Amino acid sequence: MDTQQPYDLILHGGDVVDGTGAPRLRADVGIRDGRIAAIGDLAGAPAARMLDIAGLVVAPGFIDSHAHDDRAVLDMPDMLPKVSQGVTTVVNGNCGISLAPLRGDEALVPPLNLLGRGDSYGSFAHYRRAIDASPPAVNVAAMVGHSTLRVMRMGDVTRAATTAEISAMRADVEQALNDGALGVSTGTFYPPAAAAPEGEIIAVCEPLTRLGGIYATHMRDEGDRVMEAIDESLRIGAALNVPIVISHHKLVGKQNHGRSTQTLARIGEAARAQSVCMDCYPYDASSTILRPERVAICDRTMITWSEPHPEAAGRYLEDLAREWQCSPREAAEALLPAGAVYFIMDDGDVRRILQYPDTMIGSDGLASEGRPHPRLWGTFPRVLGHYGRKLGLFPLENAVYRMTGLTAMRMGLRERGRIAQGFHADLAVFDPDTIIDNATFDAPTETCTGMRHVFVNGVATWQDGAATGARPGRFIADRPQPPKR
């Protein structure tokens, strides 16, 4: 154990939950130069600062495996919604939607507009340089989105790409990977990519096979045809020979509630032959752009934003339809472009998916929404407090593993996600007896209870329950490496 040089900080007397799933251990954690320098009994060791955390847990900082903070890390770099709940790293560019490479008005095409309005970034390198020049309070890893590439390279996204368009998109993917992208995400559920056939996706993503990276997918269907969508995702991953992440796995529509037993069995079977995992958020309601054809299969629908009717944010579509004396679908069409929370899932499926051994935790939160889904502010303490401590879905150590070590391993993020000597000092210190989410659908921006301190690369971003204003985040250019030939 290295005790020769003074530590910048010693976290003293807490219970270390190291991110591997191992039982907690009473130990001190010494930090030096942004790294974890020692773990053990550091009583009497010289340190610039000693922080007593007796009765608290120190865990690796949480990694949001499914974020849409592409623009937020630049426009609201304090990242309060994430820092306040212990998040130290966000993985952006999910669901086929990335902020780069784009040119101007392309960013306004749904669902790219979910990232909000602002500057555009003509290359992935440009986006990375912007983060390096003005670091946020969290680390950032990012994928390049297939829908983004289609919108940029194709005049008409309602058809399959031509050979020339595929070649241009494939070159974009290769350049993005060389510039530090984590991988490629697809969102064939959304209109810009719905017409893309399986072969197009494989051809566009071919650089992943040579250069490594993640293939993450918001599948074509999470309802009646979910099994076909899973099989397509598995075929694409197998053809590319890369790790697959099934994004925010869920079952939508009452007729599909309970089918997670079927989907998880299929994914588990496939995992014996290829690398496949998933992420999940701990809520039974989803949120994305408002699609009028979707409201009929929802128990209810809450509007999060609307350009023609901004006053509708926070209102239920059914109430608006009664006031306007029209059908819910007609009301939805009048609100476009807009966003919505869909009460469309079953908590039994949510619990079953959360308990699956290879489920990572991702918020899927949308910082640009005027009335966001509470997952933006509450995902990680909700897993720890509601599903872990209160409902007993898993012990604390396993819950932390799903937010840290598992995610770092699956995403190829080196020297993060664990409390281990030499690893980056991304840490969350919380009260295991009180940690809980407070964000609700009626009050979606309430901070959680029980998060005491958060450190990113050894620097405090959250201290004694308040933001410090520090912005020590970095762009992370790690990714899974290609298989050896």
- Please return the burial class of 136, using the count of CB atoms within 10 Å of its CB with bins 0-12, 13-18 and 19+: buried
Q: For residue 281, what pLDDT is reported?
A: 98
Domain co-membership, 314 together with 401? no
Domain co-membership, 217 together with 311? no
Amino acid at 466: A
Out of 414, 437, 462, pick the residue that ends a domain.
Answer: 414
Q: For residue 37, what pLDDT is reported?
A: 98
Domain count, the chain: 2
pLDDT in tens, 30-70: 999 999 999 999 999 999 999 999 999 999 999 999 999 99
Domain co-membership, 158 together with 65? yes
Q: For residue 229, what pLDDT is reported?
A: 98
Domain co-membership, 195 together with 151? yes
Residue 452 inside a domain? The answer is no
* 381 close to 437: Cβ distance less than 8 angstroms: yes
Residue 438 inside a domain? The answer is no
Structural domain boundaries, residue 372: 61-294+341-414
Domain co-membership, 86 together with 76? yes
Q: For residue 313, what pLDDT is reported?
A: 94
* 244 close to 336: Cβ distance less than 8 angstroms: no
Domain co-membership, 269 together with 312? no
Cβ neighbours of 297 (radius 10 Å): 15
Cβ neighbours of 29 (radius 10 Å): 27
Q: For residue 266, what pLDDT is reported?
A: 98
Cα distances from 333 to residues 51, 308, 328, in angstroms, run 55, 11, 9
For the chain, give the secondary structure using H, E and C. Answer: CCCCCCECEEEECCEECCCCCCCCEECEEEEECCEEEEEECCCCCCECCEEECCCCEEEECEEECCCCCCCHHHHCCCCHHHHCCCEEEEEECCCCCCCCCCCHHHHHCCCHHHHCCCCCCCCHHHHHHHHHHCCCCCEEEECEEHHHHHHHHCCCCCCCCCHHHHHHHHHHHHHHHHCCCCEEEEECCCHHHHCCCHHHHHHHCCHHHHHCCEEEEECCCCCCCHHHHHHHHHHHHHHHCCCEEECCCCCCCHHHCCCHHHHHHHHHHHCCCCCEEEEECCCCEEEEECCHHHHHHCCEEEEEEECCCHHHCCCEHHHHHHHHCCCHHHHHHHHCCEEEEEECCCHHHHHHHHHCCCEEECCCCCCCCCCCCCHHHHHHHHHHHHHHHHCCCCCHHHHHHHHCHHHHHHHCCCCCCCCCCCCECCEEEECCCCCECCCCCCCCCCCCECEEEEEECCEEEEECCEECCCCCCCECCCCCCCCCC
Domain co-membership, 320 together with 287? no
Domain co-membership, 115 together with 225? yes
CATH code at position 290: 3.20.20.140
pLDDT less than 70: residues of the chain: 1-3, 485
Residue environment code for 446-464, b if the CB has 16+ CB neighbours within 10 A, otherwise e = ebbebbbbbbbbbbbbbee
CATH code at position 323: 3.30.1490.130
Q: For residue 159, what pLDDT is reported?
A: 98
Out of 399, 414, 429, pick the residue that ends a domain.
Answer: 414
Residue 43 inside a domain? The answer is no
pLDDT in tens, 361-402: 999 999 988 889 999 999 999 999 999 999 999 999 999 999
Residue 248 inside a domain? The answer is yes
Domain co-membership, 314 together with 265? no
Q: For residue 3, what pLDDT is reported?
A: 52
What does pTM read for this prediction?
0.97
Instruction: Please confirm whether the linkage preceding 111 is cis (ω < 30° from 0).
Output: yes
Domain co-membership, 243 together with 127? yes
Q: For residue 483, what pLDDT is reported?
A: 77
Residue 221 inside a domain? The answer is yes
Domain co-membership, 287 together with 299? no
Residue 324 inside a domain? The answer is yes
* 139 close to 476: Cβ distance less than 8 angstroms: yes
Residue 45 inside a domain? The answer is no
Domain co-membership, 200 together with 336? no
